[in-house]
Amino acid sequence: MTEFFHTSAFDWDKNLFQFINSHNSPFWDKVMWVITSAQFGIVFFLILSALVVWFYRKQSWKILLFIAAVTLLADTIGARVLKPTIKRLRPSHDFEYHGDHQVHLLQKKDGTYYYGGRYSCPSNHAINYLTSSLLFFFFLSPKIRRRWLLAIFVFGITLLSCYSRIYVGVHYPFDIFCGWLIALLLAGLAIWLDKKFQVSK
């Protein structure tokens, strides 16, 4: 299926990737390295989890378990089912696709470069961030007066994390869009189930 992504129908995807990936600097390399890291995601989720605990108290563990279960399911579908099936190489592993364009990769402290795993579609960063963000927003928005601030924080961080994956050269924009679609479907289904059957109660 890799050849399918090399057709002219995906020229927009390659061009957008090259535009984002080529606009880099030593300063933004450091910033994006932090944003794309697992530690950044952990801190983000811990902040949101703390808010759930603050507002829901004794009921919070059920909500957090529900969010974790749905996010884990979404992550598994992306990493264990779709990526090995679609087999689209990451831009960091598919240099021939880019011709004269050199993919900008981040250099680690040991001198090696960050390539990510072999396959890229869908982006699990996109899946995990948006799935959990939608669910956290669903549970927290009734408790917070200024929902727009919560929305800016939750979805702003999600967008920034996804952008970082293109910047560091390990995902195409289409990979991000596919991840978002999966997240919307699964989080939407989870929210519908919770409203109908109160599974987190």
Separation of alpha carbons 196 and 194, rounded Å? 5
- Going by C-beta distance under 8 Å and a sequence separation of 6 or more, which residues neighbour residue 122? 78, 82, 83, 86, 175, 178, 179, 181, 182
- What are the structural domain ranges in the chain? 23-97+119-197
What letter would DSSP give residue 111? S
The pLDDT score that the predictor gives to residue 163 is 98
Lowest mean pLDDT among 11-25, 94-108, 136-150, 185-199: 94-108
Cis peptide upstream of residue 91 (ω within 30 degrees of 0): no
What is the pLDDT confidence band of residue 6, given thresholds at 50, 70 and 90? Answer: confident
Separation of alpha carbons 108 and 90, rounded Å? 18
Q: Rounded mean pLDDT of the chain?
A: 92
What is the pLDDT confidence band of residue 94, given thresholds at 50, 70 and 90? Answer: confident
Secondary structure E strands in the chain: none
Residue 8 has pLDDT above 90, yes or no: no
Q: How many C-alpha atoms does 144 have within 13 Å on its Cβ side?
A: 19
Q: Is the pTM of this model over 0.75?
A: yes
Neighbouring C-beta atoms of residue 107, cutoff 10 Å: 11
Separation of alpha carbons 14 and 74, rounded Å? 26
The token pair at 45 is 């989720």
The pLDDT score that the predictor gives to residue 96 is 66
The pLDDT score that the predictor gives to residue 100 is 59
What is the pLDDT confidence band of residue 99, given thresholds at 50, 70 and 90? Answer: low
Three-state SS at 74: helix
CB 147 within 8 A of CB 18: no
